Amino acid sequence: MNADVINIIYEDNHILVVEKPVNIPVQADSSGDMDLQSLLKSYIAAKYSKPGDVYLGIVHRLDRPVGGVMVFARTSKAASRLTDAFRRREVLKMYVAVVHKPIKNVPLTGTLVHWLQKNVKTNMVTAFDTAVTGAKKAILNYTFLSSHPIQNLSLLHIELDTGRSHQIRVQCASTGFPLWGDQRYNVNLSKKGQQIALFAKKLEFIHPVKKQKMTFELPMPDRDPWHLFP
């Protein structure tokens, strides 16, 4: 993969907003695979003829199998301010997901609250209903938008209040409506080769320098199983 295939949504001297492709890490990791940050650094260096190492700050993340809208900082000042905005929960992060229908009575709209604990060795996250030593509180708001009775699937709208590792995936699975294609937290219902049906659809924040509200939204992916919900 090269930078030419990355969908650049918006850019100025301070921020860069892109559509993260699925199955690419945000940052270089032990896999050695090409990562989004490196691709975008190459893009900036080529477009603006910048010598040396290009600065591009990561202010939030998406799991490797998840695609959607992301913002990067092109200056350290922008990175500091955006990181602080995410920490203060001042950024609107909206996702859509295709999930298996609940196995028990679940309200069509609500708030999920768990305490999440990550096992660094296995890269797995466990959800607890009450506070546990070493676990971090996780909050998300969800709404069931529509259902596909034949496939026994539902389209879910999610707004994150916190930003924990694997948060949406593990909270939904723990509540009884696991994500379609999630090979990690939905092993029993997922099939090999399926791509997790989770997409970062919308991002809204105050520009770190211009102080204007910035809203970026993408259409749902045009692939299975999203096409079941036009």
Q: Is 229 inside a domain boundary?
A: no
pLDDT at residue 165 in the model:
92
Residue 122 domain flag:
yes
Q: What CATH number does residue 139 fall under? A: 3.30.2350.10
d(CA 140, CA 34): 31
Q: With bands split at pLDDT 50, 70 and 90, how would you rate the model's confidence at 1?
A: low
Residue 225 lies in a domain: no
| pLDDT at residue 46 in the model | 92
Q: Give the pLDDT confidence score for residue 3 in this predicted structure.
A: 65
Asked whether residue 226 is assigned to any structural domain, the reply reads no
* Residue 180 resides in a domain: yes
pLDDT (tens digit per residue) in 86-121: 999 999 999 999 999 887 778 999 999 999 999 989
Rounded CA separation 65/81 (Å): 27
| For range 39-52, the mean pLDDT | 91
pLDDT band at 6 (very low <50, low <70, confident <90, very high): very high
Map tokens 């100025």 to a residue. 12
Report yes or no on 109 lying in a domain: yes
- Give me the number of domains the chain comprises: 1
pLDDT at 215: 98
Q: Mean of the per-residue pLDDT values for the chain?
A: 93
**Alpha-carbon torsion 72, 212, 165, 179, what sign?**
negative
Note down the domain range covering 155: 3-218
Mean of the pLDDT values across residues 58-65? 94
Model confidence pLDDT, tens digit, residues 174-197: 999 999 999 999 999 998 889 999
Q: Does residue 230 fall inside a structural domain?
A: no
* CB contact at 8 A, 41 and 54: yes
Asked if residue 224 is part of any domain, the answer here is no
Q: What is the mean pLDDT of residues 72-81?
A: 98
Burial track 193-221 (b if 16+ CB lie within 10 A, e otherwise): ebbbbbbbbbbebebbeeeeebebebebb
C-alpha closest to that of 8 among 225, 216, 227, 162: 216
pLDDT of residue 52: 81
In tens, the pLDDT along 123-174 reads: 899 999 999 999 999 999 999 999 998 889 999 999 999 989 999 999 999 9
**Cα dihedral 41, 43, 48, 52 in deg (nearest 10):** 40
